[in-house]
């Protein structure tokens, strides 16, 4: 069976695909500010697959809408369970560029929010700058539809694309995620530091949170705090873990 045929079967059977969760935290206090859902595939023969192994193929196939719907359904079901336990934690879901060309997306997101009793502001949709680049009329409409629902929009891997700056002049975004390459290079590069500093300032001016990705050390955390960065995500705080493992963590860190 091809990978895509196996994906189709896994989606239909509602097994094998799992969402790991990684918190983003307030850099100063360590308190979680949200959780990102990251897809994994527990393949019966090929072993544990990460998005790099299969997301590209799914994106280029007609399975994309179903795949994205599955991820959103699982993520919002989880957010709904947490809410029932008194944990109002925003959940971030990664979209593929091509999802923003699908005019049915806002309707589906709205239906899933209602089904799982999750208020729209608790869903953060992460989009990458590649999407921002290929802005067409169709993408405009989808993004407008998502904004009308009241969900949050986040620019993922910020700083690595091309036209993100023109994108944010047109689209209000709630969050900028500083690409982890800048955090990695910060210690040895005044230029990487300058990019982070400028992103923090930009976030302030457009009223968007700034989240640093890939924070791996206490030194990086301290440097980011001194740059005025609000939040961070990375192995220094918590690796992506199974979703049942994150509930006690969300409780203790609160």
Q: Does 217 bind ligand G (CB under 6 A)?
A: no
Q: Does 213 bind Na ion (CB under 5 A)?
A: no
Q: Does 175 bind ligand G (CB under 6 A)?
A: no
Mind giving me the DSSP string for 175-235? Answer: EEEE-HHHHHHGGG-HHHHHHHHHHHHHHHHHT-EEEE----SHHHHHHHHHTT--EE-ST
96 contact, one of ligand G, Mn ion, Na ion, none, CB 5-8 Å limit per kind = ligand G
Footprint (CB under 6 A) of ligand G, residues 122-161: 156-157
CA–CA distance, 106 with 163 (Å, rounded to integer): 24
Q: Nearer Cβ to Mn ion, position 8 or 127?
A: 127
Q: Which helix (H) or strand (E) holds 138?
A: helix 137-149
| Site stretch for Na ion (CB under 5 A), options 85-93, 115-123, 154-162, 229-237 | 154-162
Q: Does 36 bind Na ion (CB under 5 A)?
A: no
**Among residues 140, 130, 46, 118, which one has the least CA distance to residue 94?**
130
Q: Nearer Cβ to ligand G, position 131 or 205?
A: 131
Smallest separation, CB 212 to ligand G (Å): 10
Distances (CA, A) of 37 to 10, 41, 57, 236: 18, 13, 20, 18
Binding site for ligand G (CB under 6 A): 22, 38-39, 50-52, 55, 71, 94-96, 156-157, 180, 213-216, 233-235, 240
């Amino acid at each position: 069976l091809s990978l895509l045929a196996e994906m189709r079967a896994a989606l239909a059977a509602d097994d094998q695909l799992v969402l790991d969760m990684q918190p983003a935290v307030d850099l100063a206090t360590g308190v979680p500010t949200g959780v990102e859902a990251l897809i994994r595939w527990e393949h019966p023969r090929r072993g544990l697959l990460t998005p790099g192994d299969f997301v590209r193929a799914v994106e280029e196939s007609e399975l994309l809408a179903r795949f994205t719907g599955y991820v959103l359904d699982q993520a919002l079901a989880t957010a709904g369970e947490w809410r029932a336990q008194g944990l109002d934690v925003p959940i971030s879901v990664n979209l593929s560029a091509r999802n923003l060309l699908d005019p049915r997306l806002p309707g589906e997101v709205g239906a899933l929010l209602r089904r799982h009793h999750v208020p729209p502001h608790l869903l953060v949709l992460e989009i990458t700058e590649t999407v921002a680049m290929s802005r067409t009329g169709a993408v405009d409409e989808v993004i407008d539809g998502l904004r009308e629902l009241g969900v949050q929009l986040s620019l993922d891997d910020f700083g690595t694309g091309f036209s993100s700056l023109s994108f944010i002049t047109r689209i209000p975004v709630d969050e900028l995620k500083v690409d982890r390459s800048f955090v990695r290079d910060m210690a040895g590069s005044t230029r990487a530091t300058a990019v982070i500093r400028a992103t923090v300032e930009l976030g302030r001016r457009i009223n968007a949170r700034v989240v640093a990705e890939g924070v791996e050390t206490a030194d990086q955390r301290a440097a980011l705090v001194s740059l005025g960065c609000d939040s961070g995500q990375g192995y220094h705080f918590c690796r992506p873990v199974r979703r049942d493992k994150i509930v006690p963590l969300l409780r203790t860190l609160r």
